[in-house]
Amino acid sequence: MKSLILSLLFISVVTISFAQGTSYGVRGGYNISNLDFDPDADFENKHRNGFAFGGFVDFGISDNFSLLTELQYSAEGGKAEELRADYIQMPIMARFGIGNKFTFGAGPMISLKTWKNLDGFSTFTISGVGGLEYMITSELFIDARVHYGLTNILDEDLTDAEAQNTTFQFGFGIKI
């Protein structure tokens, strides 16, 4: 019982300290993505234009450093119907303020596939994500990100080929 009370007290103190610099919001974006095959694909592999939308929490740790977590839906993959890869994603970025208007962030991103063609693709992938944000007003921002796949999105039990997803994302959002 004593350890439970101490654990709850610790969680409360941490939550309150993060809450002072915490902001919430929504974000939407335009994706340009492609699959990089190894060995190279023997078919035409064109990029896919898609969209992303979701919500975020930005935990302010200091004036120039924060930790952003986001939950988003993102349409990615290749242009061909059988190469479309839609995900529920959770990027976690360490963010550094550069002056009053710019913020640079980088970190890992986990993705869970949501598309209907389940055969041949991995359910879970890991990517690296980096980006730059510009605050237009104190609530409204635009940003640019790149996601680079670190894991194979193809099911290793079904094929020897490998594919990584690479996505450029241009977004806008509002802090609530």
Residue type at 97 in one-letter notation: G
Nearest to 85 by CA among 130, 122, 41, 39: 122
- Among the four given CATH numbers 3.40.1280.10, 3.40.50.1820, 2.40.160.20, 3.40.50.620, the one describing domain 22-175: 2.40.160.20
Per-residue exposure over 142-170, b if at least 16 CB sit within 10 Å of its own CB, e if not? ebebebebeebbbeeeeeeeebbbbbbbe
Q: Are 139 and 130 in contact (CB under 8 A)?
A: no
Which residues are CB-neighbours of 42 under 8 A, at least 6 positions away?
Answer: none
User: pTM of the full predicted structure?
Assistant: 0.81
Query: How far apart are alpha carbons 52 and 32 in whole angstroms?
Result: 11
Structure confidence by residue, pLDDT tens digits, 13-53: 455 455 558 899 999 999 999 887 776 666 667 888 999 99
Give domain limits for the chain: 22-175
CB atoms within 10 A of CB 91: 27
Structure confidence by residue, pLDDT tens digits, 88-144: 999 999 999 999 899 999 999 999 988 665 566 777 889 999 999 999 999 999 999
Query: How far apart are alpha carbons 68 and 41 in whole angstroms?
Result: 36
